[in-house]
Structure 1
Amino acid sequence: MKALVYHGPRELIWEDAPDVTLGPKDVKIAVKAVGICGSDVHGYLGLTGRRTPPMIMGHEFSGVVESIGEKVTLWNAGDRVTVQPAQFCGTCDFCKAGQTNLCGNKRFYGAMDCNGAMAEYIAVPEHLLYRLPDNVPFDAGSMIEAAAVAYRGVKNAGDLTGRHVLVIGAGTIGQLVVSIARLRGAKRIYISDLSDARLATAVKMGADVTLNPQTMDIRKVVMDATEGKGVDIAIEAVGVTPSAKQSIELLRTGGTAVWIGNSAKFVEVPMQEIVTRELRIRGTYIYSHDEFGEVLEMVNSGGISFDPIISLRAKMSEGARWFAQLADSPGELIKIVLIPE
């Protein structure tokens, strides 16, 4: 088969790769759409240590069942599917409690040395598959994973009804946080980013107020709108010191900050402010297997639309070009979905 193989920093080659091996409970999938995640771009640049060359990236994907292992009972050739890509053990305490995202034995497709879906085919255990409804296109099917990350982050913020919510970062995850926060009853949604183009897209996703720290006094805007109190909830979707600080500085006393961003290993924050104002800081990590399915239902019912944020559909064989573009000069690009020839 052909695959987009990562050989090291800035080295992606569309080349022949060994065909996937099908275990007795595995399903072979012909990949129809795979998204380029921000973490993939960081891996492409060699910044994270989470991509071990040579390997195949890609954890946001959908496709069609090509063939099944001899013990597979739930799927047949021709089924349209999307895949929850965190392979969990099912036997540890976290898995038994439904917190499969915290499984210490999990492997993640498209990360470390576990080959992903930027290829013609991928084989995965049958229990990781979800049926993709006929009315959900493959490119939307590849977006379920990112939406699930955003969904868990919003859930971990608690009840949003009537709340002022700040979203920091207008990349794919931040955009989807806006959409889901709107669905969950937020009163007013603010979003902060350095790109006016991305901020304009966020309005289409449901944001009320856009904030660009480079061109305005965002603290004044937020405080004027909240009677000097600050937002009730801040959801950080970048993962660096400036955005982490922003999630604290614009938060009301007793408020909650949820951190989804996972870029920097360490950030510097005002600890005394956290302590003296009794702020809550909560981390959130990917999603549980069940939450992935919940998001698929939301998409199927029309609650979430990906149209504003899918910037481009490109051939998988041309993936190296688009990785370089996202790394060096993304411009207005938010999500690029790679499709087969």
Structure 2
Amino acid sequence: MKAVVYEGPNVLTYKDVADVSPKANEVKLKVRACGICGSDVHGYLGITGRRIPPVIMGHEFSGEIVELGEGVNNLKPGDRVAAYPLDFCGSCEMCAKGDVHLCLNKRAFGVLDVDGAFAEYICVPAKVCFKLKDSVSYKVGSIMEPLAVSYRAVSHAGNLTGKNVLVVGTGTIGLLALSCVKAQNPRRIFVSDLSDSRLEIAKKMGADTVINPSKENSLDVIMDNTNNKGVDAVIEAVGVSATVKQSIDSLAFGGTAVWIGISDKHIDLEMQKIVTRELNVKGTFLYGFEEFRTVVEMLNEGKLNIDPILSKEITLEELPETMAQMAAGAGDIIKVTVVNND
């Protein structure tokens, strides 16, 4: 079968590799779509230590079942599925608590030395496969992993129905968070970013008010539209001092900031604003098995609008060149997906 193999920093090779066969309790998927994650780009550059060559990257994927391993009876060839990209043991202390994403024996597809889905086929445990309705495209199906990250972040903000909410950052995670916020019927959604083209995408996904802080005062816009109270919740999806400050400044008394951005290791923070206004600050990271299940169900039910973030579609053969371009700077491209329609 064909695959793209990471062979060292800045080296991806489209080549023939050994075909795969499902073991007991596994299924073989024909990979129909696999998104390129920012961590894949960092892995390609060799700056994280999270990709050990030679390895096939790719952990945001959906596909069609083509073969069943022994013992699989809840799925069948032809089923369209999204895959939770983690094999967990089910018996360790963390799995017993239900925190399978923290499994002490986990294997993450496309990470470290575990092959992922930048390939024609991949074998995964049947237990990580979630069926997709025909109305959900494979491209949309491949976005479940970052969508689950965003869903978890938004859930930390509590019930947002009828609330004013600010989303800071219009990368993949920020825009998917916007979609999750929109599903809760808030009063008004503000979205802030320095890219006008990405703010236009935010409008398509349900933002009521978009703000470019390089052209207007973010706080003035928010206060003008909230009776000078500020927003009830902020989802901060950038992670630098300026945007963290923006998240705190924009909150109403008693409001909640959820921080998901991790660009800077250290940030400057004015503690008195948090203490004297009794603000809530929460960090969020990754997602759990049930959160993945939830976002699959929400997309199957048509509750989320995420199509606008799917910026570009490429073939597996085009991946090495595209990855090099993304490593040099993605510009306003949000989500690139490797698609196999054959």
With normalisation by structure 1, the TM-score equals 0.93
Change (3 A) 1:326 1:225: same
Kept in 2: contact 1:34–1:61 (CA 8 A): yes
- The residue aligned with 2:53 is 53
Q: Distance in 2 between matches of 1:27 and 1:316?
A: 21
Moved more, 50-59 or 193-202: 50-59
Deviations 1:107-136 (A, max 9, x none): 321222222111111111110001122222
- Aligned position for 1:128: 128
Alignment partner, residue 40 of structure 2: 40
- Quick one: structure 1 residues 270 and 46, their matched pair in 2 at CA, closer, same or farther if it must change by over 3 Å? farther
2:324 corresponds to: 324
Q: How many residues align?
A: 341
1:28 deviation in Å?
Answer: 1.3
CA distance in 2, matches of 1:126, 1:22: 10
Q: What letter corresponds to residue 89 of structure 2 in structure 1?
A: C
Asked if the contact 2:179/2:306 (under 8 Å) is kept, the reply is: no
The one-letter amino acid paired with 1:99 is: D
Could you tell me how far apart the structure 1 residues matched to 2:290 and 2:128 are? 10
Question: 2:235 touches 2:257 (CA, 8 Å); kept in 1?
Answer: yes
| Percent sequence identity over aligned pairs | 50
Distance change in 2, residues 1:41/1:154 (3 Å): same
Equivalent pair of 1:190/1:211 in contact (CA under 8 Å): yes
State how far apart, in whole Å, the 2-side matches of 1:268 and 1:87 are. Answer: 38
Structure 1: tracts of 5 or more residues without a match = none
Change (3 A) 1:30 1:264: farther
CA gap of 1:128–1:200, structure 2 versus 1, over 3 A, is same
1:10 & 1:240 partners in 2: Cα distance? Answer: 27
108-117 vs 181-190, greater mean Cα deviation: 108-117
Structure 2 distance, partners of 1:169, 1:230, is 18
Task: Compute the displacement of 1:209 (Å).
Answer: 1.1
Partner of 2:167: 167
User: What letter matches 1:300 in structure 2?
Assistant: N
Amino acid at match of 2:303: G
- What is the deviation of 1:338? 0.5
Compute the TM-score of the two structures, normalised by the length of structure 2.
0.92
Aligned to 1:99: 99
Deviation, structure 1 residue 159 = 0.8
Deviation at 1:188, TM superposition (A): 0.9
Check the 8 A contact 2:144/2:295 in 1, yes or no. Answer: yes
Matched, 1:185 2:215: no
Q: Which residue of 1 aligns with 2:67?
A: 67
Task: Find the aligned partners of 1:187 and 1:109 in 2 and give their Cα distance.
Answer: 39
| Greater alpha carbon shift after TM alignment, 266-275 vs 329-338 | 266-275
Between the aligned partners of 2:130 and 2:277, the Cα distance in structure 1 is 43
Q: Is the 8 A contact 1:101 1:285 kept in 2?
A: no
**RMSD over equivalenced CA pairs, Å:** 2.0
Report the CA distance between 1:95 and its aligned residue.
3.0
- Paired amino acid for 2:205: M
Instruction: Tell me whether 194-203 or 277-286 shows the greater mean CA deviation.
Output: 277-286
Specify the code of the residue in structure 1 equivalent to 2:209: V
For residue 195 of structure 1, report the CA deviation from its aligned partner. Answer: 0.8
Q: CA deviation at 1:265?
A: 4.0
Task: Give the gaps of 5 or more residues in structure 2.
Answer: none
C-alpha deviations, 1:286-314, integer Å up to 9, x for none? 22212212211211121123321111111
Q: Shift of the alpha carbon at 1:104?
A: 4.0
The equivalent residue for 1:232 is 232
Q: SS of 1:181's equivalent?
A: helix
Deviation sequence 1:14-69 (CA, Å, 0-9, x none): 12223335321211111011011222222223333322222221111111112222
- The alignment partner of 1:122 has SS state of strand
SS in 2 for 1:5: strand
CA distance in structure 2 between the aligned counterparts of 1:52 and 1:269, rounded to whole angstroms: 36
1:259 corresponds to 2:259: yes
Does the 8 Å CA contact 1:99/1:288 hold for their aligned counterparts? yes
The alignment partner of 1:331 has SS state of coil
Q: Which amino acid aligns with 1:84?
A: Y
| Bigger mean CA offset, 31-40 vs 297-306 | 297-306
Aligned partners of 1:86 and 1:106 also within 8 Å: yes
Aligned to 2:335: 335
2 CA distance for matches of 1:268 and 1:101? 31
| Aligned counterparts of 2:326 and 2:305: Cα–Cα separation in 1 | 22
The answer to whether the 8 A contact 1:316-1:339 is kept is yes
Tell me, what secondary structure is at the counterpart of 1:56? coil
**Shift of the alpha carbon at 1:93?**
4.4
